Structure 1
Amino acid sequence: MAKSTVSIPDELSLSECRERINELVIEMKKLRTEQAQVRERTGAIDRQASLMASEIALLEQRHDKLTAEPYVTDHAVLRYIERKYGFDIDAIRKEMLTPQVKAAMKVGAKGIKVDGGTFKLNGTAIVTYVRAK
């Protein structure tokens, strides 16, 4: 950062004061110009950094796609069982959602014992089935 080159002695004549003021005004203009140039350069650097961050994000997405482990969703497994082995999923849902299970849900139960295990409940949903030990 530039340091002021204008020195001001203790006693000055009026014309010397005016001259010093003019020198200070000129120096302030130079510093403002330099400041604007620095801000312009930092703005350009910020824009470049932002573009690089976007490019990095795209590369990370590509990397994640290329390195992701293949998997099968639960939905796909369910449809496979239903269509390959002929399971009637809607009939199974009706079998699970008995009047007793619905009543347990209405009173806020977290689970209800059924043949051979327990349905775990969350609100109005059966979320899992646990076999009895």
Structure 2
Amino acid sequence: MSKEEKALRYNKYKARFDLLPPEALYALAEHYGKGAEKYAERNWEKGTEWNVPYASMMRHVMAWQTGEDHDPENGTHHMIAAAWNALAIYTYYMREIGADDRPMAEPISAVQHESSVGGFRSPQSSEKAPNSQE
């Protein structure tokens, strides 16, 4: 097909589903299926406190980080389970479901501190952060 015969398409700013890794998507879909069997179809969409999937995500990340590749309970790769939890949190955020129970610390980018440790303070607090450079 020559360039002249090709249909004109304006896809520059559209979602690039063709770039998503099929292996990961397939494994993620299998994980959704395991959840539907264990709980109920779409049960997770009822929402929960956001720290519930966050804590689960971090347990999966830490299990993987310490050398365990697959969840012994269901055989899912820990990074797929972590991705599932991250997607659940994002969906709760976008759909405004569940309870946003994150601690009220300032975003890391807004905190002035000398080291990578500390420096967090509540948005309601007028006190300087312990490592503040002000």
TM-score tier, shorter chain, comes to under 0.3
Q: Is the helix fraction higher in 1 or 2?
A: 1
* Higher relative contact order, structure no. (Cα contacts within 8 Å, ≥ 6 residues apart): 2
Larger radius of gyration: 1
Calculate the TM-score normalised by the size of structure 2.
Answer: 0.24
| TM-score normalized by the length of structure 1 | 0.24
The structure carrying a bigger strand percent of its residues is: 1
